[in-house]
Structure 1
């Protein structure tokens, strides 16, 4: 149960719940046309909690002290924070200002200090909170393990802290990422063609990395040059230091395979980067084959990051 005596200072009159965010990012519920400009929430106890009346009274009192939400918002409003075994335990209310009941999606929750700096961040399966009735707040306790704390040496604030639901970044358009060497050496016409190709392709799924064949040709010395688009569909940069590749011809016979050690090849978030890999002539497993441009072939390998 929340510690009634150690609760943090709650809101001042006339202020909204600053942890409130648009519900559309966290629930499968369309916005409703709400007539009220500020919404106070009723207490909702999880149906599996069987509490004595005195505990329910404390929760009801704390809930009445909470600031109002704006229409179509959800919130995770922190009440008490305490340290345990190197981690943090936070007592909070999960709040819903919609008229209908909602079930929250999994999301990351952040603890912010008075200056708005992140103290800790931890993903939670908020569906465990259950269905939160319309215009209600449900008490819940969140455990932040030691690994979630940004600076273990920093003192945990007793006042001025708050919880926040981490907003998802809006996906940016998938684009071409050319290295400096490619920018300098690639003719403008070919660079424009690559831009058009990337724009015309269906982007990778969120979090997916795949490879798209662009070109394969044999040099005069017999080396096999294979050019690929490395397509990064994640919201973070991808650094490749070692990459195993296998090249097959159209009859699916292995022409060459090997591992490439790379000097920190980086593909920026949500971009595709062209790169050429060279298989030495002596490593080829098949001779007497012809080459055609690979553009238009489907991806042959997928990695999750």
Structure 2
């Protein structure tokens, strides 16, 4: 059975309203019929350094812990890939059957400037 967990820094710093939103997304998506890794969108934003921030709920529906080492992630809007980057996050380990929120940061040179970043999809390639 899928469980929601927060990485320790998230758990300490997350605003109550954001926690409620993530718990709602988890309840709506925890029973997806999948045996892989699925990203459920939380929010997108551009920060003060013009980096694209993509916050998602990472569902590890697999039977193995998920680590992101040289993992190529694509972010697409309306089926057009607008950002891609290889991520190596050795400290991020998502156990089997666990969902965890995370924000992936695409630096300014790794994405195409768009009018809107909403309704996008993050995929592991």
TM-score range for the pair, normalised by the shorter chain length: 0.7 to 0.9
Establish whether residue 194 from structure 1 lines up as the match of residue 22 from structure 2.
yes
Matches within 5 A, 1:191-230: 191-205=19-33, 207-230=35-58
- 1:1-305 matches, cutoff 5 A: 172=1, 174-205=2-33, 207-250=35-78, 252-284=79-111, 286-292=112-118, 294=119, 301=123
Q: What is the total number of aligned residue pairs between the two structures? A: 125
| Secondary structure in structure 2 of the residue aligned to 1:220 | coil
Over 3 Å counting, the alpha-carbon distance change for 1:232 and 1:289 in structure 2 is same
* TM-score using structure 1 length: 0.37
- Distance in 1, Cα, partners of 2:28 & 2:114: 34
1:177 is displaced (CA, Å) by 1.4
Cα 1:194–1:215 shift into 2, 3 Å: same
Contact in 2 for aligned 1:175/1:195 (Cα 8 Å): no
Q: How far apart, in 1, do the equivalents of 2:38 and 2:86 lie?
A: 17
Can you give the 5+ residue segments of structure 2 that lack an aligned partner in the other structure? none
Bigger relative contact order, structure 1 or 2 (CA pairs below 8 A, ≥6 apart): 2
Cα RMSD over matched residues?
2.4
TM-score, normalising length: structure 2: 0.81
Gaps of 5+ in 1: 1-171
Change (3 A) 1:260 1:236: closer
TM-superposed CA distance for 1:288, in Å, is 4.3
Whether the 8 Å contact between 2:65 and 2:94 is mirrored in structure 1 is: yes
Q: Which has the higher strand share?
A: 2
